[in-house]
Amino acid sequence: MPGRPSLAGRSLLVSRPAGRMGGGGSALRVCADHRGGINWLSLSPDGQRLLTGSEDGTARLWSTADGQCCALLQGHESYVTFCQLEDEAAFTCSADHTIRKWDVRTGQCLQVFRGHTSIVNRILVANNQLFSSSYDRTARAWSVDGGQVSQEFRGHRNCVLTLAYSAPWDLPGAPCAEEVGGLLVTGSTDGTAKVWQVASGCCHQTLRGHTGAVLCLVLDTPSHTAFTGSTDTTIRAWDILSGEQLRVFREHQGSVICLELVNRHVYSGSADRTVKCWLADTGERVRTFAAHRHSVSALKYHAGTLFTGSGDARARAFDAQSGALQRVFRGHAFVINCIQVHEQVLYTASHDGALRLWDVRGLPCAPPPRPTAPARSRSRLFSNKVGCAAAPLQPA
């Protein structure tokens, strides 16, 4: 199979229950059917299935009830970069320049989306549309059912790495929101993020300020705010309607690799081996989570616990409010690329080719942190950005 070197030469484990039930961070099950590193892990909306995409060019569907592989999705001609699982269909994208749609019950390929001319890096299914970003410097919108390209977004000068979507009904303050078909936000190695009108394909805003590649982004749709993380070590907040840079989060000493937004708190994982928690409305850093021995590659907040995956091959659980390290999950051999949590089970996917299931019972359960009201002077400084939304949406 063309693509990056796989780990096919290693001794493969079989899916098996571990010997101890996870109280100290032991695995409930190790699923090592893939013959290459796992690049992404997606949980279905109903929580019944998991989807993994691998360096071996395949994707696999797993049951969350027993951790067993229930379908092997074969057809890509190079490694799978990313995947998204819906209740009725699975979607995968690959270095073979294509995207595929699969039946989750039969494992049959239902549709191949062709058009990109280089590696497809990310996909996003939303509002009955499929969005994709590629190393060919474009993003695209596709009909989920027909497989045709409905819109092409051109303007980035380098690879498009990450993307997020805001539906028309998430833009109540924006004139003509229905007509523009929602907004797509893309981040690129050219150091910019762009906001696109989905219906027309026009660039609505270009978000300039980073001095390095934009590696990750999250949207806060109620406030029309995008948060972007970059190799320049900063996180930046932007009004996606006006294009205005609202604030800069500075304290990391390495690239910002991943972001999680939870109830007005931004969590950022970095190559500096830390996670930081910030107040989204002010940019104030309120907590630092240390203890990692390598870059933080994955984040997931769940019920008062912050789970992290790292290049040191370990997952960790922290108390989100105090920052205290609660548990370390050891067993992987290489970097953990993605994590999910469902019903007291932590799922970790690694470049060692294994999907591991961990018992997280016994960790304190708490509601998400309440937003901390900013000081009045800061509130005046950063508030009323919605006033910018009164301007009509015009191509940039």
Residue 19 has pLDDT above 70, yes or no: no
Whether the pLDDT of residue 264 is over 70: the answer is yes
Q: Could you tell me the domains of the chain?
A: 29-114 (2.40.128.630)
pLDDT tens for each residue of 356-387: 999 999 887 655 555 544 332 222 222 222 22
pLDDT of residue 173: 64
pLDDT tens-digit readout, 143-169 = 999 899 999 999 999 999 999 999 988
What b/e sequence results for 279-314 when a residue is b if at least 16 CB atoms lie within 10 Å of its CB, and e otherwise? bbbbbebebebebbeebbbbbbbbebbbbbbbbbbb
Distance (Å, rounded) from C-alpha 392 to C-alpha 242? Answer: 10
Closest CA to 305 of 260, 372, 336, 257: 260
Q: How confident is the model at residue 33, as a pLDDT?
A: 95
Burial track 36-67 (b if 16+ CB lie within 10 A, e otherwise)? bbbbbbbbbeeeebbbbbbbbbbbbbbebeeb
pLDDT of residue 171: 77
Place of tokens 């019920």: 303
Q: How confident is the model at residue 25 (pLDDT cuts 50, 70, 90)?
A: confident
Q: Does the pLDDT of residue 28 top 80, yes or no? A: yes
- Name the DSSP class of 64: T
Alpha helix ranges (H) inside 128-216: 177-180
Which tens digit of pLDDT belongs to each residue from 220-248? 999 999 999 999 999 999 999 999 999 99
Direct distance between the N- and C-terminal alpha carbons of the chain, in angstroms, rounded to an integer: 42
Q: Does residue 79 register a pLDDT over 80?
A: yes
